[in-house]
Every structure is written in C-alpha cells, then in structure tokens.
C-alpha cells in the first residue's frame, strides 16, 4: 500500500509513488531499478528507485503535463528541510551506477543546447 498525503504531510506522496511504479525501468548497464524524470531544463534524468535510506539530493514531484519532475537540491539545509518534512529524496543514477563513465555525459565536454558551434577561421 502506498503512503498517502495525509500520512506523510507530503501533498504529492501518493501521486509521486504511483507514477514511479508505472515508469520503473532497469539500467542497461548495471540492471539497477531507475525511473526517468524531467529536469527544469527539459533534460531527462535517470533516478535510482527506491529512495536510498541515507537520503539523496533529488526531489521528485508529479506534474500533470510534464510527468515526473526532478529538482536537484543544492544545499544541505534544503535537503534537511525536505527530509524532515516527509519528502523522500532520491539519488541521480550516475552517482550509484558502477558503469556511469560509459553512458553519462561529461558536463565539461558537452556543448550547451543552442550554443553555436565553434569553427576555425
């Protein structure tokens, strides 16, 4: 049985859990359970499922139009505030997959979307 908003104080608890149960997949490399979420920049992010006992830094919320939305919480204070309020915090799969170097993008070598390509001349 899933936790409801009344039990946890989280208004999205039942909706987030239900959506994630429907969209569970396995990592092609390590075979770990993941869910796919959309970030604020409309990029896809693999997130470990279920939430680790030690907590993570990714907050998942279900949006009626976009689906599962992932927000990365940057500070320890933000993570503690959400965790103590009953929000489960998840972990980006790149941090736990032993084969991440095979599939994860290197942010320093990946050009930003829409950035002009540099040519010689």
Tell me whether residue 42 is in a domain: yes
Instruction: List all residues 6 or more positions away from 88 whose beta carbon is below 8 Å from its beta carbon.
Output: 16, 50, 51, 60
Residue 84, in any domain of the structure? yes
**Residue 21 φ then ψ, to 5°:** -65, -30
Asked if residue 109 is part of any domain, the answer here is no
Domain count for the chain, please give it: 1
* Domain interval for residue 35: 5-101
- Examine the pLDDT at 30 and tell me if it is beyond 90: yes
Per-residue pLDDT at 63: 79
Q: Are 47 and 90 in contact (CB under 8 A)?
A: yes
Tell me if the pTM is above 0.75.
Answer: no
Query: Residue 17 has what pLDDT?
Result: 57
Residue-wise pLDDT tens digits, 41-96:
888 899 998 888 887 899 988 877 778 899 999 888 999 998 888 888 999 999 99
Task: Report yes or no on 39 lying in a domain.
Answer: yes
Quick check: helix, strand or coil at residue 110?
A: coil
28-39 average pLDDT score: 91
Query: What is the distance between the alpha carbons of residues 55 and 53, in angstroms, rounded to a whole number?
Result: 5
């Amino acid at each position: 049985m899933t936790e409801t908003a009344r039990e946890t104080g989280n208004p999205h608890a039942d909706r987030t859990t239900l959506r994630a149960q429907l969209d569970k997949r396995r990592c092609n490399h390590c075979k770990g359970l993941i869910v796919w979420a959309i970030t604020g920049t409309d990029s896809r992010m693999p997130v470990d499922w279920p939430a680790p006992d030690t907590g993570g830094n990714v907050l998942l919320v279900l949006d009626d139009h976009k689906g599962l939305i992932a927000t990365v919480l940057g500070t320890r204070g933000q993570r503690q505030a959400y965790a103590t309020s009953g929000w489960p915090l998840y972990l980006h799969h790149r941090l736990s997959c032993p084969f991440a170097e095979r599939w994860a993008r290197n942010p320093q070598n990946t050009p930003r979307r829409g950035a002009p390509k540099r040519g010689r001349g």
